[in-house]
Amino acid sequence: MKILQLIQKPQLRGAEVFASQLSERLNGLGLTVDIVYLFGGENDTLNYKVNYIQLNANHKKRFHDFKAYKNLYNLIKNGGYDLVQANAGDTLKYAAISKYLYGWKQPLVFRNANYISGFINSAPKKGLNSLWVRQCAHVISVSESCRLDFISIFPSKAVKSSTITIGTQEFEEVKPSELRQDSNQQTESVFINIGSFVPEKNHLGLVDIFEDYLKRTNKGYLWLVGDGQMRAKIEEKIKQLGLSGRITLLGYRNDAVSLLKAADCLVMPSFIEGLPGVILEAMACGKPVIASNVGGISEAVLDEQTGFLLKPNDTPGFVHSMKLVMETNGLQEEMGEAGKKQVLNNFGMEKIASQFLEKYKQILEINNA
């Protein structure tokens, strides 16, 4: 079986990282899996044992990028692929338009990694996206709540949808980052958030949460790993609140797991999520997770066992949970160990890859019937 995975660009973002990890593991199971990325130059970021192919699409022309649509068709035709999977972002748009224009027969699978009702929130958006969805043979959602949300928008896909969660690996060999060498950071709590600086991740709310935590404890640090459109506003707010010495913006990093190992706790007050891989990575590293109870997060984080689940705007609740984790004797370690077991039992990448393989076989059997 030969599979082509589509990603938006070679970047250390959840959808791209998971597609790469999945492809690497599927290759190990005897499949041939290539990854084509739509935008960006040569790949020097995603370091996985996968063949990456550059499509040279033009983001500014994504609704009429006819050269790229045809290049994708030629790649699929000449590559002998059996199935194509689009992974979030603009990948479904490019694949669906290419399939419609050139009629390639390989089944198109869409990997739904988000709670899409938070984005497709008007009739015009629904109408436009239904054109792309119509070309899909199957939709695989990252969580059951995301699947139910998807079919509430596109009920025609109810019988052509399924749930396969993300997966992660063990990180026993990864050493904690040396970033925490400062004497104060060694003795005080360090919280971490990893994610793109976009409105739905609620970084501005996180700054408010951390400010309140500092007022109550007079100690602690926050690391923000990522970048994006909200960076200037985040920096401005940090400066206005006088928190520049307590909150560090680290940008995009290729050592996120090492940073997780060095921190004490992951905090994510997002408004919208699917099932972010960084949560599983934090749990695999033995770190408690304090997060919004949105999307599929509750399908991974066990409230009061591996962390705490709260409403996105519940600043007092987040602060209380952060204090509990850091001030209750043994709780941080207890939740960390429970998180490791949760990931090992339910979210191992080998198990997830096997589920994808079985689903691909089912889809191809139906398509070839």
Given a cut of 90, whether residue 119 has pLDDT beyond it is: no
pTM attached to this predicted model? 0.88
Calculate the average pLDDT of the chain.
94
Given a cut of 90, whether residue 181 has pLDDT beyond it is: no
Domains located in the chain, CATH noted: 2-167+348-368 (3.40.50.2000), 178-346 (3.40.50.2000)
pLDDT at 121: 85
pLDDT 10s digits, 30-65: 999 999 999 998 888 898 999 999 999 999 998 999
Task: Give the rounded percent of residues in the chain with a pLDDT score beyond 70.
Answer: 100
| Confidence tier at 352 by pLDDT (50, 70, 90) | very high
Provide mean pLDDT across the span 104-128.
92
Provide mean pLDDT across the span 269-288.
94
What is the rounded CA–CA span in Å between residue 247 and residue 9? 29
Tokens of 48: 């996985």
Cβ neighbours around 103 below 10 Å, total: 8
Given a cut of 80, whether residue 182 has pLDDT beyond it is: no
Provide mean pLDDT across the span 164-170.
88
| Confidence tier at 18 by pLDDT (50, 70, 90) | very high
pLDDT at 369: 78
Contacts of 114 (CB under 8 A, 6+ apart): 88, 142, 146, 272, 273, 274, 295
Contact predicate 146/273, CB 8 Å = no
Q: Which residue has the higher pLDDT, 169 or 153?
A: 153
CA torsion angle for 327, 329, 333, 336 (degrees, to 10)? -50
pLDDT at 171: 85
Contact predicate 83/107, CB 8 Å = yes
Lowest mean pLDDT among 10-19, 50-59, 139-148, 283-292: 10-19
CA torsion angle for 285, 286, 287, 289 (degrees, to 10)? 100
Token match 């935008």: residue?
39
Contact predicate 241/208, CB 8 Å = no
Tokens of 364: 């191809």
pLDDT 10s digits, 291-313: 999 999 999 999 999 999 999 99
User: Hey, is 349 helix, strand or coil?
Assistant: helix
Provide mean pLDDT across the span 266-276.
94
Q: Is 96 left (phi over 0), alpha (psi -120 to 50) or beta?
A: alpha
The full length of the chain comes to 369
**Amino acid letter, 123:** A
